[in-house]
Amino acid sequence: MSFNVTAASVFVALFLFVTWVGFIAARWRKADLNLLHEWGLGGRRFGTVVTWFLLGGDLYTAYTFIAVPALVYGVGAMGFFAVPYTIMIYPILFLVFPRLWTIARERGHVTAADYIRDRFDSRLLALAVALTGLLATMPYIALQLVGMEVVIGALGFPAGGFTGHLPLIIAFIILAAFTYTSGLRAPALIAVVKDLLIFITIFAAIVIIPAKLGGYGAIFASIPKEKLLLTSPSGNTLGSYSAYFTLALGSAMALFLYPHSMTGILSASSGKVIRRNAAALSAYSFVLGLIALLGYMAIAAGVGQNPLHAAGFEQFGANFAVPALFLDMFPSWFVGVAFAAIAIGALVPAAIMSIACANLFTRNLYKEYWRPDCTDAEEARMAKIVSLVVKVGAVLFILAIPQAYAIQLQLLGGIWIIQLLPPILLGLFTRSVNAHALLLGWAVGTALGTYMAATRGFVSSIYPLEIFGVTLPGYAALYSVIVNFLVAAALSPVLDRLWPRTGALDRASNRR
């Protein structure tokens, strides 16, 4: 791949601009950033518009921009599961999370583990929630680097070795600096720039690229039939139908349990803001559908047959489909804009994820087990330091482990994080579930989901479940969390007899 001077210049200029935005964010809605709720939650003062951009920047990442069309490019219709999945998310957000926000605001919770610790009076269950959040988020942060590496490589920067990774390292040093300085305010402001760039890129793509390819009719006519439709049920299997449905439902149930999603929600100024965003965020689902179509456009454009892109596909596989499409269809200056949108789309969620991990570690490990008497300033300082360590860890993760393995590990992220659904959801609406039962349900669900992924060699999260002679291929996360719920429900009355709830626990269950 030859070095594209014009595209690289536009890319660097936009990157420097968002760096400036990240640093000046410290003076936006100025407050004492030596308080954890100010640094890590923006003081819980973000209104409807800022929260909309923040959650959009949080949930729709660089890897989404690259991976969703790459999946459509590689396997076809199955990649569109991401569209109904994002539609399913928002009723859940509307019904459940305003209540969680209210409890967290009243009780001073900064993390989901804070909420669990207070709600169930169980240090072990809160510890399980914190560790699960940290474990599931680390490969997710690393995967943002995958999207950034793809566009940096597409610009023509050298690949491989320290020189090849240098632009990525510089980008994350900058990210670490403005996150440390400005906290959640930085990604909140940068998310506005990121989303505007993405909207410009996508709407240009859906107009210009089809015009060059002969229209949408010509695009769909060039797609092989097996990539246009899901595999129909046959014999004793539901084919890809059950996989498609369970991927959509399981992903929807898991997404807002991630620490970075929870951080975005808890930073809102009110429960009404969350409800408004549950309605308004559906606009991103529309944009995601357009992003997915880029996979079909790449097939129609024949980017895989272009010898100029051979090195890119060899290095990045199907993830190179969208950059190759843009390189073929747009002038160099607009390629720089599009690639900057993708790269900045990595910075925003990576910043929020590192802040969320820092909040979890500081509140639920450091303060809970090492320094329960630490001051507010010490707590915030530790969170800032941990946010740096998390970013360094993510960079080392992606430098040391081949991308294929990083992606395989990310498959486990959804399986692990969805196991937090029973304690978080049930804690909002019932007082009768035993904390020990929830902990055992979490352990069984985590072990079962990991086992299902292991039987697939960690290359797929679809497990072929057999029931009464019928094979139901489905998302291991959904199957395992159902078992988690059943274990918690079955063991709760039994464990209530063995470990009766104490007065403290009764008081906790009666709050709200």
For residues 387 and 359, the answer to whether their CB atoms sit within 8 Å is: no
Exposed (0-12), middle (13-18) or buried (19+): which is 43, by Cβ within 10 Å?
buried
pLDDT confidence bin for 509, thresholds 50/70/90: very low
* pTM, two decimal places: 0.88
Question: Which stretch of DSSP H or E encloses residue 472?
Answer: strand 470-475
* Residues of the domain holding 315: 5-510
Q: 């087990």: which residue's tokens?
A: 369
pLDDT given for residue 159 in this prediction: 61
Residues in Cβ contact with 496 at an 8 Å cutoff, skipping those fewer than 6 apart: 434
Residue 209 sits in a domain whose CATH number is: 1.20.1730.10
What is d(CA 232, CA 410) in angstroms, rounded to the nearest whole number? 28
Q: What per-residue confidence (pLDDT) applies to 147?
A: 81
| Mean pLDDT of the region 232-259 | 87
The Cα 107–Cα 120 span in angstroms is 13
Distance between CA atoms of 261 and 253, rounded to whole angstroms? 12
Interval 358-399: pLDDT, tens:
999 999 999 989 988 888 888 888 998 988 888 777 777 666
pLDDT mean across residues, the chain: 87
Give me the number of domains the chain comprises. 1
Pick from 91, 128, 80: nearest CA to 228: 80
Average pLDDT over residues 100-123: 91
Please answer whether residues 383 and 362 qualify as being in contact, where contact means their C-beta atoms are separated by less than 8 angstroms.
yes
Q: How far is CA 207 from the centre of its chain?
A: 28
